[in-house]
Amino acid sequence: MPVMPVAVETFILDPNHQGTLQRQLQDIVTAGILEGRFRPGDRMPSSRGLARHLGISRITVTLAYTELVANDYLSSRGRSGYFVSETAPRPPVVANAAAVPGHSKVDWSRAIGRRTVASPTPDRPEDWRRYRYPFIYGQADARLFDHQNWRKCALQALGARDFEAMTSDSYGRDDPMLVEQIIRLILPRRGIVAHGDEVLVTLGAQNALWMLAQILLTRSKTAVVEHPCYPALRAVLQQAECTTLSIPVDGNGLPPDRVPRATDALFITPSHHCPTSATMPVERRREILSRADRDDFLIVEDDYEFELAFATSPSPALKSLDRSGRVIYVGSFAKSLFPGLRLGYIVGPAPLIEEVRRLRTLLVRQVPGHIQRACAYFLAHGHYDAQVHKISRAYRERRSVVEAGLQAEGLTIAGSTKFGGSSLWMKTPGDVSARVLANRLRAQQVLIEPGGPFFDDGDDPGTFYRLAYSSISVADIPEGIKRIGTESAALADRPMAR
Amino acid sequence: MPVMPVAVETFILDPNHQGTLQRQLQDIVTAGILEGRFRPGDRMPSSRGLARHLGISRITVTLAYTELVANDYLSSRGRSGYFVSETAPRPPVVANAAAVPGHSKVDWSRAIGRRTVASPTPDRPEDWRRYRYPFIYGQADARLFDHQNWRKCALQALGARDFEAMTSDSYGRDDPMLVEQIIRLILPRRGIVAHGDEVLVTLGAQNALWMLAQILLTRSKTAVVEHPCYPALRAVLQQAECTTLSIPVDGNGLPPDRVPRATDALFITPSHHCPTSATMPVERRREILSRADRDDFLIVEDDYEFELAFATSPSPALKSLDRSGRVIYVGSFAKSLFPGLRLGYIVGPAPLIEEVRRLRTLLVRQVPGHIQRACAYFLAHGHYDAQVHKISRAYRERRSVVEAGLQAEGLTIAGSTKFGGSSLWMKTPGDVSARVLANRLRAQQVLIEPGGPFFDDGDDPGTFYRLAYSSISVADIPEGIKRIGTESAALADRPMAR
Mean pLDDT of A80-88: 90
Please, which contacts does A40-43 make with residues 24 or more away whose CB atoms are closer than 8 Å?
A: A40/A84, A40/A85, A40/A86, A40/A87, A40/A88, A41/A3, A41/A4, A41/A83, A41/A84, A41/A86, A42/A3, A42/A4, A42/A5, A42/A6, A42/A83, A42/A84, A43/A3, A43/A4, A43/A5, A43/A6, A43/A80, A43/A81, A43/A82, A43/A83
pLDDT of residue B202: 98
Residues 6+ apart with CB under 8 A from A435: A123, A450, A452, A462
Whether the CB of B368 is below 8 Å from some CB of chain A: the reply is yes
Give the confidence band of A285 by pLDDT, cuts at 50, 70, 90: very high
Question: What pLDDT shows up at residue B92?
Answer: 60
pLDDT of residue B419: 73
CA dist A60 and A47 (Å) reads 9
What is the pLDDT at residue A93? 53
In chain A, CATH 3.40.640.10 sits at 147-384
- pLDDT band of residue A101 (cuts 50, 70, 90) is low
How would residue A92 be classed by pLDDT, with cut points 50, 70 and 90?
low
Identity of the residue numbered A254: L
Mean pLDDT, range B474-479, rounded to an integer:
97
Question: Does A331 reach chain B within 8 Å, measured CB to CB?
Answer: no
- In this prediction, residue B93 carries a pLDDT of 53
ipTM value for the complex: 0.85
Q: Where in chain B is the domain with CATH 1.10.10.10?
A: 8-84
- Kindly identify which residue of chain B lies nearest to residue A106, measuring between CA atoms: B326
Do B129 and A320 make contact, defined as CB atoms within 8 angstroms?
A: no
- What confidence score (pLDDT) does residue B101 get? 53
For the stretch A135-154, pLDDT in tens is 999 999 999 999 999 999 99
Please state, as a whole number, how many other Cβ atoms lie within 10 Å of the Cβ of residue B72. 12
State which amino acid sits at residue B177. Answer: M
β-partners of residue A468 are A423
* Percentage of the residues of chain A whose pLDDT score is greater than 70: 95
Torsion angle of C-alpha atoms B248, B251, B253, B258, degrees rounded to 10: -50
Q: Which helix (H) or strand (E) holds A438?
A: helix A434-442
Contact partners, residue B239, CB within 8 Å, separation at least 6: A362, B116, B117, B210, B213, B214
What are phi and psi for residue B442, nearest 5 degrees? -60, -35
pLDDT for position A139: 92
Q: Is the pLDDT of residue A7 over 90?
A: no
Q: Which of B58, B90, B80, B85 is nearest to B69 (CA)?
A: B85
| pLDDT class of A328 with cuts at 50, 70, 90 | very high
Cβ atoms within 10 A of the Cβ of B97, count?
Answer: 11
Q: Which residue has the higher pLDDT, B313 or B410?
A: B410
Q: What CATH code is assigned to A130-141+390-497?
A: 3.90.1150.10
Neighbour-count burial of A455, counting CB atoms closer than 10 A to its CB (0-12 exposed, 13-18 middle, 19+ buried): buried
Is A352 in Cβ contact with B342 (below 8 Å)? no
Chain A: closest CA distance from residue B23 (Å) = 18
Give the HSE-up count for residue B232: Cα atoms under 13 Å, Cβ half-sphere.
21
- Measured between alpha carbons, how far is A340 from B370 in angstroms, rounded to an integer? 8
> How many angstroms separate the CA atoms of B394 and A319, rounded?
53
Is beta strand A222-227 parallel, antiparallel or unpaired with respect to A243-248? Answer: parallel
- Of A236-245, A467-476, B74-83, B248-257, the one with minimum mean pLDDT is B74-83
Residue of B nearest to A170 (CA): B340
B99 and chain A in contact, CB less than 8 A: no
Q: Would residue A125 be called left, alpha or beta, if left means φ above 0 and alpha means ψ between -120 and 50 degrees?
A: beta
A126 burial via Cβ count (<10 Å: 0-12, 13-18, 19+): exposed
* B498 pLDDT more than 50: no
Which one, of B68, B188, B291, lies nearest residue A10 by Cα? B188
Total residue length of chain A? 498
Domain with CATH 3.90.1150.10 in chain B: 128-140+386-497
Give the per-residue pLDDT at A419. 74
CATH of the domain spanning B147-382 = 3.40.640.10
- Residue in A341, A441, A384 with CA at minimum distance from that of residue A139: A341
Are the C-beta atoms of B86 and B3 separated by less than 8 Å?
no
CA–CA distance, B20 with A248 (Å, rounded to integer)? 41
Q: Is A334 on the interface with B (CB under 8 A)?
A: yes
Does A7 contact B at CB distance below 8 Å? yes
Amino acid identity of residue A135, one-letter, is F
Query: In this model, does residue B407 exceed pLDDT 90?
Result: yes
Chain A residues with CB inside 8 Å of B7's CB? 185, 188-189, 385
Q: Options 3.50.50.60, 1.10.1380.10, 3.40.50.1820, 3.40.640.10; which CATH number does A147-384 get?
A: 3.40.640.10
Protein fold of B8-84: Arc Repressor Mutant, subunit A (1.10.10)
CB contact under 8 A, B113 and A218: yes
Confidence of residue A44 (pLDDT cuts 50, 70, 90): very high
pLDDT above 80: residue B111: yes
From B119, B168, B368, residue closest to A361, measured CB to CB: B119
pLDDT tens readout for residues B319-361: 999 999 999 999 999 999 999 999 999 999 999 999 999 999 9
Bridge-based pairing state of the strands B344-347 and B199-202:
antiparallel
Q: What is the pLDDT of residue B385?
A: 86
Q: Which residue has the higher pLDDT, A218 or B4?
A: A218
What does the pLDDT look like over A368-427, one tens digit per residue?
999 999 999 999 988 998 899 899 999 999 999 999 999 999 999 998 877 788 999 999
Q: Is B124 exposed, middle or buried (0-12, 13-18, 19+ CB in 10 A)?
A: buried
In chain B, CATH 3.40.640.10 sits at 147-382
pLDDT of residue A97: 36
Q: In this predicted model, what pLDDT tens digit does every residue of B271-313 receive, in sequence order?
A: 889 999 888 999 999 999 999 999 999 999 999 888 777 766 6
B460 vs B456: CA distance, rounded Å: 7
The CATH number of domain B128-140+386-497, selected from 2.40.10.220, 3.90.1150.10, 3.90.920.20, 3.40.50.2000: 3.90.1150.10
Amino acid at position B132, single letter? R
Question: For residue A474, is pLDDT > 90?
Answer: yes
Give the number of other Cβ atoms within 10 Å of residue A13's Cβ: 13
| Residue B420 Ramachandran class (φ > 0 left, ψ -120 to 50 alpha, else beta) | left
Q: What pLDDT is attached to residue A2?
A: 58
Is A420 strand, coil or helix?
A: strand
Give the least confident one: A82-91, B31-40, B84-93, B469-478. Answer: B84-93
Backbone phi and psi for residue A344, each to the nearest 5 degrees, phi listed first: -150, -170
Cα–Cα distance measured from residue A87 to residue B220, given in angstroms and rounded to the nearest whole number: 55
The pLDDT value recorded for residue B314 is 67
Residues B131 and B447 sit within 8 Å (Cβ to Cβ): yes
Q: How many CB atoms lie within 10 A of CB B219?
A: 9
End-to-end Cα distance, chain B = 49
End-to-end CA distance of chain A: 49
Q: Which of residues 378-437 of A touch B (CB under 8 A)?
A: 380-382, 385
The pLDDT score that the predictor gives to residue A458 is: 83
Q: Which amino acid is at A24?
A: Q
* Chain-centre distance for alpha carbon A82: 43
Count of pairs with CB atoms under 8 A, one residue in A, one in B: 356
Between CA A42 and CA A27 the distance in angstroms is 17
Chain A residues within an 8 Å CB radius of B111: 216, 264, 298, 352
- A105 in contact with B at a CB cutoff of 8 Å? yes
Name the residue facing A113 among B171, B191, B221 (closest C-beta): B221
